[in-house]
Each structure stands twice: as C-alpha cells, then as structure tokens.
Amino acid sequence: MRFVLDNSVSMRWLFADGRAADLAYAEGILCRFEQPGNEAIVPAIWPLEVANVIVRAETRGLLTEARGAEFIGILHAMAIRVDQTTTARALTDTLQLARRFSLSAYDAAYLELALREGLGLATLDGDLRTAATKAGTEIVEIRLAGGEPT
C-alpha cells in the first residue's frame, strides 16, 4: 500500500509526545512499514520540515545532535520516497488548495500530492484532515487494540 506521510506523524516517532491517541496512530502508521510493499510518498518539502524540527529541537536542548542523526538514519532506511513534482505544482494546484481550504502552503503540498497520486493521507493535523476529507481524500486509518479504526 502506498500513502502520503505528513510530517506530523513522523515527528511523533521522534519525540513520542502528544495525546495517547496521536501516539497510537503514529505507531500504527510506523507498523505499516514492516509489511512488504508498503511505501510512503512525501512532498519535496518534507525533508526540509524534518530538518527544521530537528535543528530547532537541538537548539532548545530537547534533542541531541546524535539522536537527531540517528533518527535521520532511520528515516533513510524506511520506504519513504520524496516526490520531485511538488515544486512544479507549488504556484498552481498547491496554492489553489491552500486558498480553498485555508491551509498553509506546506500542508496543502501534502493534500496536493495525495490528490494527484490518488492516495490516502496519514496525518495528525486536524485542519489537514478536514481539508482532505472535504477534497475527497481518504485518511489512512489504523486499527487500535479492540479493532476500532482511527
């Protein structure tokens, strides 16, 4: 299964913080990478977002450089493909989605990619989830203990 991975999920892997439901969702998405054939696709801005969060956390003393480097190594080993068409759509489709749904251009890039590729979106961002649903994009669900989807 292919899906679009939002940075909000990948940062839960690094920091393991937030609401219990968010952590469970992020863990469920992480488990998808253990299954053969699963691949995440991310817009070209994703590596910059990851780098920005890491450097800001290091600056604030919330993360060591060694832990940041270790996490980057883990991400490189995962089946995550960076979409190279993101920037070509930034001032057209992405901009229109940002306007239509009152999203940041960064968040709209994830929605644009999901729509263009016809893929589900794995995100913890409430505004992005709402916009994706309105645009007809599925949110990638996981099964919690007890069989409840989230």
**Averaged pLDDT, 12-36:** 95
Q: Residue 74 half-sphere exposure, CB side, CA atoms within 13 Å?
A: 13
Nearest to 16 by CA among 63, 79, 80, 48: 63
The model's pTM is: 0.93
What DSSP character marks residue 1? -
pLDDT band for 143, please (50, 70, 90 cuts).
confident
| pLDDT of res. 145 | 58
Nearest to 101 by CA among 24, 109, 37: 109
pLDDT band for 144, please (50, 70, 90 cuts).
low
Is 77 a residue whose pLDDT tops 70? yes
Q: Give all domains of the chain, ordered by start, each with its CATH number.
A: 2-135 (3.40.50.1010)
Residue with more model confidence, 80 or 142: 80
